[in-house]
Amino acid sequence: MLSKTQKVFLAIAAVFYMTAGSLHFLISDQYMKIMPPYIPWHLAMVYISGVAEAAGGVGLLIPQLRRAAAWGLVALLVAVFPANVYMATSAPAFSWILWARLPLQPVFIWWVLACTRTRRP
């Protein structure tokens, strides 16, 4: 059973990931710019990660899939971390914002796991 606080943060996370996943299709050119050169098939990877992110957000709302969706999002956050590092290291301006964003990855991982962890009654 989830607490009221968990339910609120779960709903926020679900909306966040569904929106972020949708953006991969709406502004794919922006995501293409942060793809490290060693990653193949840039556009396909942008779309695949967008689908995974949106699906994870939807999965957070389905009790039977919630925990699996959380772990899927954890895997996705780990997988896209190199793109975040590449973006921070190759940005000409505002790089401090991009560097400050890197420590948020573990926070996002904790967030999805904490708001899906059920307590036994």
What tens digit of pLDDT does each residue of 27-60 get?
A: 999 888 888 888 899 999 999 999 999 999 999 9
What tens digit of pLDDT does each residue of 88-121 get?
A: 888 776 677 888 889 999 999 999 999 999 876 5
Residue 21 · residue 31 · CB < 8 Å: no
Asked which of 4-13, 14-23, 52-61, 94-103 is least confident by mean pLDDT, the reply is 94-103
| Domain chopping of the chain, boundaries | 4-114
